[in-house]
Amino acid sequence: MGAIGILIVVLVLAVLIYVIVQYNSIKSLQNKVKQSRSGIDVALTKRFDLIPNLIECVKGYCEHEEKLLQELTEARTEYLKNKKLESGENTEKKVSDVLLLAERYPNLKASSQFMELQASLERTENSLSAARRLYNSDVTLYNTKIQVFPASLIAGFMGAKEEKVFEAGEEAKKNVKVNF
């Protein structure tokens, strides 16, 4: 085998190694996106687990707010039925509205159970915000990876598709700030 033959073999090996490395890298990023997406799911589940307690607590103090509490219950049911991360977002404003009731009902505001729920919800909201940011960070890295040449060729062969970053919906963009 002459020098040219050896060169061809080396080149083929180099290309093969590159393809394997890129394949594994894309797969690894895909898994990261899945894991961080499930992180959002975990945070949303924690938030929804708190909602029944919140509704029970508020009911005792706010007899005339059935409509709002009913909407919140329905939003929770909808999320639990289809587990769509986007539908989880619809409840954010409703939860904020329920918490804002404390401003109109001083007895509710003073309730220790309500204060504990507020603190738990704040922790959960922070977790959820962090999970979304992490998801967006992983999606951005993954999308960049599969768009950049020549890794885009390998991504094309793998059928790797771009993922959507998480964007705040219209309701969330109205920016209801709850002051705890």
Partner 1 sequence: MKQKNFNEIYNDIYSSVGPQIEEKRKKVFKKRIMAFLIALAILIFIYSIGLTRIVPLFIIIFVATIAGFIFVISKLGEEYKKEFKEKVISEIVSKSNPSFRYLYNKGLSSSEYSSSGFDYGWDRFYSEDYIEGKLEDGSDLRMSQVKTEREEQTTDSDGHTTTTYVTTFLGLYGIIKLQTPTRASFMIKENSTFSKFNKNRIEMESSEFEKYYDVFANSKDTSLRQNAMEIMTPEAIEDFVKIRNLFKKSINVSVNGSNIYFRIEVGDIFEPPTFKSSVNYDMLYKYFLIIDVPRMVYETFIDNILVMYGDSEAKEKRNIINNNEN
Q: Segment 68-127, which members bind partner 1 (CB under 8 A)? A: 118-119, 122-123, 126-127
Among 133, 150, 153, 168, binds partner 1 (CB under 8 A): 133
Residue 9 beta carbon to partner 1: minimum distance, rounded to whole angstroms: 27
Find the helix packing angle between 66-82 and 3-59, rounded to 10°.
Answer: 150
Q: What is the tally of helices (H) and strands (E) in the chain?
A: 7, 0
Residues 6+ apart with CB under 8 A from 45: none
Which C-beta is closer to partner 1: that of 14 or that of 141? Answer: 141
Among 87, 90, 136, 152, binds partner 1 (CB under 8 A): 136
Which C-beta is closer to partner 1: that of 33 or that of 75? Answer: 33
Cis peptide before 150 (omega within 30 of 0): yes
Among 81, 170, 173, 180, binds partner 1 (CB under 8 A): 180
Cα angle for residues 126, 131, 134 (degrees, 5° grid): 125
DSSP string, 12-28: HHHHHHHHHHHHHHHHH
Query: Which residues are near partner 1 by CB under 8 A?
Result: 28, 32, 35-36, 38-39, 118-119, 122-123, 126-127, 129-131, 133-134, 136-137, 140-141, 180
